Every structure is written in structure tokens, then in C-alpha cells.
Amino acid sequence: MRKFAVLLVLAAMMLGYAGAAYAATTIYGISGLIETPDDTIVSAKSLTPTADRIFDFKPDGAVKGVDVTTFGGAIGIIPNLEVSAVGIDVDTKGVETEGLINAKYRVLAETLTMPSVTVGVVDAANRLDHLTYGTINEASTFIVFGKNISNIAEGVSGQVSKPVRGTVGFGTGLYRSVFAGLNMSLAPKLSVAVEYLNKGLRNDSTISGVVRFQPIEALSVDAGVLGFKDFYAGASFNLSTF
């Protein structure tokens, strides 16, 4: 818990620095929703430190919960390309902190008629295998399609909709089979997101949700639930590097 508190204090101290374009991160350090990637990319020449804490995490079949802390960051290398690295620390005696290396590239930008196309990999070195007792035994590659679907929401509700983005994708590892997400802006500084993941960290079909608050453009403060069972909180901050 002390490590997580220190990380959040450091994030708060960054408020005095100039921020870059906003791109929130997943608990794995790659930009996205909660566990699933979306089509956002950390801006070129910018850095996004991130820290998250899952409290009393109980994957499918577990009897006792553990606290899980992730900490690290993502960097925009060139336009449409980011790489990231995080450490995952499980509050269990004898379990070492594992490092995850990720990458993400937006192949095609969204148009009026076509979705964006983004590809990437989470945990390229397959370190999650040691934390999931073999349930995730390969690198988690993915392809994800993203689109503004506000017009669809308006057609269904018959009312003017807040901005809504939808994502759907598939892959291997964490993302085997299909995953999907919705991100809705409720106010200029507040958004909510939900996602579906067939086999994520919980090793079960999971629907998760998060509320994101942006006190300033570059800072995202998150509070959510994995599988609507395990509470988590975190923060990410976009910094211009040069």
C-alpha cells in the first residue's frame, strides 16, 4: 500500500509540468480502458507515467484475495506508435515483481465511414504466465477497431447523445476470442467506460467498469471495478518530453 501511495503522490506532483495530449492507460500500461486497449495512442515525444492498484483481487477459483499494484509508463515514439513497460507487484510472499513490455501501433485512422485499426502486443515476453499460474501462457497480441458511435446512440435513444466511442477486437493471450468497450463522455472532465473481456486477468468472462476524472487535460484519475467484484484505482499523466 505504501508503494501505491508514493506513486500517486508523484503523479500529483506532476501537475506543475506541461501536459501533452490526453491518453489514459490500462492496468497493463498500454493506452486503453481497463484491461482492453482502445484506438488512442500516446502522443509522439510524450511520456505517460501510470500507477494502478487492485484491492483484494480474487481471480476465478481463488479463495484468498491479494492486492496487485502496477506501475510504469508509456512513451510515444513517433506518430501512431507507443511502447510501454510496467511492473506488476502481487502482495504475496514469494511472488516476485514481473515486468511487462508492450507496444501499440495505429495502422489506420478513423474516417466518417470507416473505423480506426490498431494493432499491438501486451506482455511481449510472456511474464504474466508466472502470475496467472499458466492460464495466460503466451504474449497477448491484438487488433482493435474503434469508431465514434454517438449517432447510433442518438438513433436508439431518440435524443442528443453525449460523445460515445466503441471498440471491438480480438487476439491471443489476455485477448483471446473477442473483447469490446464503450467510452462515454458525461462532462468535459468526466467519462465512464465499460468493457467485456472473454479471458482476462480474472481468468473468466469479465464485464468491468471505470469512472475517469480529468482535473486537467493531461491527468486521468480512475476508479473502477474488475468483473464488478474487485475495486481498483489509479492515475496516469501525459508529459511532453522534448
pLDDT single digits (tens) 207-238: 999 999 999 888 999 999 998 889 999 999 98
Contact 46/240 with Cβ under 8 angstroms? yes
What pLDDT is recorded for position 155? 54
pLDDT at 86 over 50: yes
Q: What is the pLDDT of residue 18?
A: 38
- Check pLDDT > 90 for residue 101: yes
How far apart, in whole angstroms, are the C-alpha atoms of residue 9 and residue 141? 33
Is the pLDDT higher at 15 or at 134? Answer: 134
- Locate the domains of the chain by residue range: 2-233
At residue 49 the predicted structure's pLDDT band, cuts being 50, 70 and 90, is very high
Closest CA to 80 of 119, 41, 121, 37: 41
- pLDDT surpasses 50 at 13: no
Cα-flanking dihedrals φ and ψ of residue 220, to 5°?
-120, 125
Calpha distance 36→209 (Å, rounded): 11
227/205 Cα distance (integer angstroms): 8
Beta carbons of 47 and 218 less than 8 angstroms apart: no
The string of DSSP codes covering 12-81 is HHGGGSPB-S---B-TTSSBBSSSSB-S--PPBTEEEEEEEEEEEE--TT-SS-EEEEEEEEEEEEETTE
Q: CA-to-CA distance for 80 and 141, rounded, in angstroms?
A: 17
Bridge partners, residue 86, by sequence: 72, 100
**What is the predicted pLDDT for the residue at 104?**
98
| pLDDT tops 60 at residue 160 | no
pLDDT exceeds cutoff 50 at 131:
yes
- pLDDT at res. 202: 79
Q: Please state which architecture CATH assigns to domain 2-233.
A: Beta Barrel (2.40)
* Residues 134-148, mean pLDDT to the nearest whole number: 91
What integer is the mean pLDDT of 156-183? 84
Report the Cα 88 to chain-centroid distance in Å. Answer: 14
Given a cut of 60, is residue 19 above it in pLDDT? no
Give percent of the chain with pLDDT exceeding 70. 83
Cβ-based neighbours of 187, under 8 Å, separated by 6 or more: none
CB distance 71 to 48 below 8 Å: no
- Hey, what amino acid is at 84? S
The phi-psi region of residue 228 (left if phi > 0; otherwise alpha if psi is between -120 and 50; otherwise beta) is left
pLDDT digits (tens, 9 = 90+) for 190-199: 999 999 999 8
Q: Over the chain, what is the mean pLDDT? A: 85
pLDDT surpasses 80 at 7? no
Contact 122, 103 (CB under 8 A): no
Q: What is the pLDDT of residues 200-215, one digit of tens each?
A: 887 788 999 999 999 9
Beta bridge partners of 175: none
225: cell is: 471495478
Cβ within 8 Å of residue 85, ≥6 positions away: 29, 72, 73, 99, 100, 101, 102
